[in-house]
A and B are shown apart, each in its own frame.
Chain A
Amino acid sequence: MAGQDLYRDDPDVESMLAFQKGDDQAFETLFRKYSRPLVNFSYRLIGNRGRAEEIAQEVFLEVHRAKSTYLPQAKFSTWIYRISTHRCWNELRRPERRLMAMQHRDPTGDEGDRAAVEPVAAGPDALQHLEAKQLQDAVADAVSSLPEQQRTALILCRYHAMGYREAAEAMETTESAVKSLMHRATVGLRDRLKSFL
């Protein structure tokens, strides 16, 4: 297959093909490599930690079920982020979600991590922690308030180190569309984060 040859040098494609041949360990390798990035991808996109973990689980289930039909036609990362993107977009379009669309990040959903930057005692360190937390919240709110397409492109490119072309493949759009989304997203963030620049 031409497609298989094209992505032969992607080690993750290698792992997926090994899994296809019955190597279950190869699936676990992929799982361990991508589980945390995918949870973070969904979390940043939909803002709810519990749902983000469920979506990551659904994505891996889909990868597992693709065992017999998998045919490499893209880098493995592009493929798995494409699946994740679709699932997140579906999640965002669920009617009950629209009601709370502006309440992006579930405040109870990331308590554990927020607690980690909470000041434990008064003092210069505590102040620094508080400032870091405020800045983190401001950035998270600013990203969360971007329109869905801009947010997706931005998260793929800025938090998952994708180039415009790979992001375009994951979003099933064109490179020039991603370029435009990235411009608008950055302008939007600059305006929202002006006081921190």
Chain B
Amino acid sequence: MNGHEISEELVAFLDGALSVEDARRVEKHLERCPSCREILEDFRRTGQLLNRWTEIAPSPGFEPRVLTHIRASETRRPVSIGFGNLNRWFFGSPIRWSAVAAGIVLMAGAAYWIFPLSRNEDVLTEAEKDEMATHIDLYVDYGVISHLDTLKPMDATPPPQGDESSIINTA
């Protein structure tokens, strides 16, 4: 037994993760073992090198985009029905199920028009709307726009009416 097996404890030793007795045992071995001291030094420098991999910044608009997404999906989330009997009644008969489902669709449709304030645009603050306008391409890429009911598709840009297009058209 030469004691070099403490080299397996050296990373934990550097991390201060050893018990007092174990740390003392490692220290004692290090005092008289240059090769383990060298390993310790390599481990220490390896740990320092890791700092060279610096953090990345999230992409522009990340925070408001995610907050918007979370609010939008929570607004749209169906409220679960906590009454076991109602669930059994509801799912027990396909006819009842379809009748109730149709009723819900009708009511939801009516509510959509009667309560316009509950739509997603009102979940956004003014600052967030500005932020979205600035990074609108990102929101499109991430599919956030699909959550925003009130954004109407833009009208297709009419073809240019200038002389050049007439020349092309008549050519």
Name A's B-contacting residues (CB within 8 A). Answer: 28, 31-32, 35-36, 39-40, 43-44, 49, 53, 56-57, 60-61, 64-65, 110, 112-113, 132, 135-136, 139-140, 143, 154, 157-159, 163-164, 175, 179, 182-183, 186, 189-190, 193, 196-197
Contacts and interface: CB of A to CB of B under 8 A. Distances in A.
A179 B70 contact: no
A60 B74 contact: no
B50 A35 contact: no
Interface residues on B, range: 20 to 34
B54 A36 contact: no
Interface of B: 8-12, 15, 17, 42-43, 45-47, 49-50, 52-59, 62-63, 66-67, 69-70, 73-74
Nearest to B43: A186
Nearest to B62: A53
A64 B70 contact: yes
Given A186-B43, A189-B46, A190-B46, A135 B62 contact: no
A31 B17 contact: no
Contact of A44 (B10, B53, B67, B70): B53
Nearest to B77: A65
Report whether over half of chain A's contact residues are helix, strand or loop; otherwise say mixed. helix
A149 B70 CA distance: 30
A64 B74 contact: yes
Going nearest first, the 7 A-B pairs with the smallest beta carbon separation are A139-B53, A190-B46, A186-B11, A57-B66, A183-B11, A113-B56, A39-B58
B53 A49 contact: no
B17 A139 contact: no
Nearest to A159: B50
B69 to A, nearest CB: 6
Given A35-B66, A61-B73, A163-B17, A112 B59 contact: yes
Given A139-B49, A186-B47, 9 more contacts: A32-B63, A49-B56, A57-B69, A113-B54, A132-B52, A135-B49, A143-B53, A163-B17, A190-B46
Contacts of A163: 15, 17
Contact of A49 (B11, B12, B47, B59): B59
Nearest to B39: A190
10 contacts: A56-B66, A64-B74, A135-B49, A139-B50, A157-B15, A175-B17, A179-B17, A183-B8, A183-B10, A193-B46
A197 B63 CA distance: 38
B122 to A, nearest CB: 14
A110 B15 CA distance: 31
Nearest to B63: A35
Contacts of B67: 28, 31
A32 B43 CA distance: 34
A193 B52 CA distance: 12
Contact of B54 (A49, A57, A136, A154): A136
A164 B58 CA distance: 27
Contacts of A28: 67
B62 to A, nearest CB: 6
B11 A60 contact: no
B57 A136 contact: no
A183 B12 contact: yes
B56 A40 contact: yes
A60 B66 contact: yes
